[in-house]
Amino acid sequence: MAGNAQQLRGNTRWVLSLNAVLVYVFFYAPIALLILYSFSDDQLVGRWGGFTLDWYRAFGQNDEVQNALSVSIRVALISTLLSVVLGTMAALSLERFRFRGNRIFDALLYLPVIIPDVTMAVMMLIFFTSLDDIIGLQVTKGFTTITLSHVAFSISFVSIVVRARLAGMSETLEEAAQDLYASRWQAFRFVTLPLILPGIVGGALLALTLSLDDVVITQFVAGPGSTTLPVYVFGLIRRGVSPLINAVSVVMLAASVLLVVLSLVAQRARGGSVT
């Protein structure tokens, strides 16, 4: 990409930097509080009870939470992967091609963003259970139904972000590549993909977040033993959100920071950036 490390001029630069700092402070203020109270020896978040590691120990001993966390992460990774592939293809087809039914497809892609989540939850529940009555397909609710439902709403978010990237982007580079006898796949792999990668990454990050946060839909399509972390936490609120949940969140945060650092190191080691 040509010259995007563009020089900002004088005042603009300061205003933009200040805004960025503000945005990060805003993003991390509750996170700081969350981390702090995961070390507090008091049932109540917000009342400091002295330093303790008890909540982390409790996490280590609580099979239910661990199981919920593991279900959440697996669902999130698989549904993100699937929705990124499907969503990106959908975005490419809509931005680059005119085909029969593209209007309907366009509309269909926005609906999962618009539908209220309770409504989607109820309809997925009825849908999965009535499959048995119509086509005799007995669906065991659980991991699979959760993942399928998450993909159903994530595709749309991915495709909207990727389309924002694609919109107005000219096809000349790909055409040039093909004129130079690159195969269609090569043209995609070495020209288009790098161009739209920031959009794909953005979409993937959104899909991951949505999956990790969904409560209502998951609750309705889950089965025995497939409770995800957000559903578990949602139930726990009735009896007070203990710092145990903070500890779990901190573990997740730490793990994701670690992953990011590792991938950066790996990228460096390979001696080049992807984009």
Partner 1 sequence: MTAAATPEFEVANERNKRRRGLFMALPAYLYLILFFALPLIIVVVYSFATRNRFGGTDLSGWNLEAYAKLGEPIVRDILFRSLWLAILTTIICLLFAYPFAYFLATRSQIVRNLMLVFVMIPFWSNFLVRNYAWRVLLGNDGPVSRLTENIGLGETTILFTPTAVVLGLVYGFLPFMILPLYASIERMDWSLIEASRDLGATGIQTFRNVTFPLSLPGVIAGSILVFIPSLGAYVTPEILGGAKTTLLGSYIVTQFLTARNWPVGASVSTVLMVVMLAATLVYFRKGGRTL
Partner 2 sequence: MKTKRMMRLLAALGALAVLAGACGSDSGDAAAAAECEAGQTDGPLAIYNWTEYMDPELKDAFAAEFGVEVTEDNYDSNEAMQPIINAGGSGYDFIVPSDYMVSIMIEAGDIQPLNKDALPNISNLAAEFASGLPYDPDATYTAPYQWGTTGLGVDLSVTGEDVPQTWGLIFDPALAAEYNLEGSYATLLNDPRETMGAALKYLGYSLNTTSEDELGEARQLVQDAKDRVAAYDSDQYDELLVTGDSAVAHGYSGNFLFQFLDAENPDQYTYFVPEEGGTRWIDNMAIPKDAPHPCTAHTFINFLLDAERGAQLTNWNLYASPNEAAVEFIDQEVLDDPIVYPTDTSKLEEIEDTGDFETNFSDAFIEAKG
- State which of positions 116-135 bind partner 1 (CB under 8 A): 116-120, 122-124, 126-127, 130
Q: Are 206 and 161 in contact (CB under 8 A)?
A: yes
Structure tokens given for 233? 């936490």
CA distance 275 to 101: 33
Residues 177, 186 contacting (CB under 8 angstroms): yes
Binding-residue pattern over the window 73 to 102 for partner 1, x denoting contact by CB under 8 A: ------------xxx-xx-xxx-xxxxxxx
Q: Of 107, 102, 109, 115, which Cα lies nearest the Cα of 88? A: 109
**Which of the choices partner 1, partner 2, none does residue 167 contact, using the CB cut-off of 5 to 8 A by kind?**
partner 1
Choose, by CB under 8 A, the member of 3, 30, 168, 224 that binds partner 2.
Answer: 224
- Out of partner 1, partner 2, none, which partner does residue 217 contact, by CB within 5 to 8 A per kind? none
What are the residues facing 40 on neighbouring strands? 51
Burial of residue 63, with CB atoms counted within 10 A of its CB: 0-12 exposed, 13-18 middle, 19 or more buried = exposed
199 makes contact, choosing from partner 2, partner 1, none, with CB < 5 to 8 Å by partner type, with partner 1
In the chain, the N- to C-terminal Cα span, in Å, equals: 8
Q: Which does 53 bind (CB under 5 to 8 A by kind): partner 1, partner 2, none?
A: none
Binding mask 53-92 for partner 2 (x = CB under 8 A): -----------x----------------------------
Rounded to the nearest 10°, the torsion over CA 241, 71, 154, 102 is -150
Site for partner 2 in 239-258 (CB under 8 A): 239-241
Q: Is 25 in the site for partner 1 (CB under 8 A)?
A: no
Rounded Cα distance, 27 and 30, in Å: 7
Question: Which residues form the interface with partner 2 (CB under 8 A)?
Answer: 42-44, 46-47, 64, 100-101, 104, 122, 125-127, 129-134, 138-142, 219-220, 222-227, 231-232, 234-241
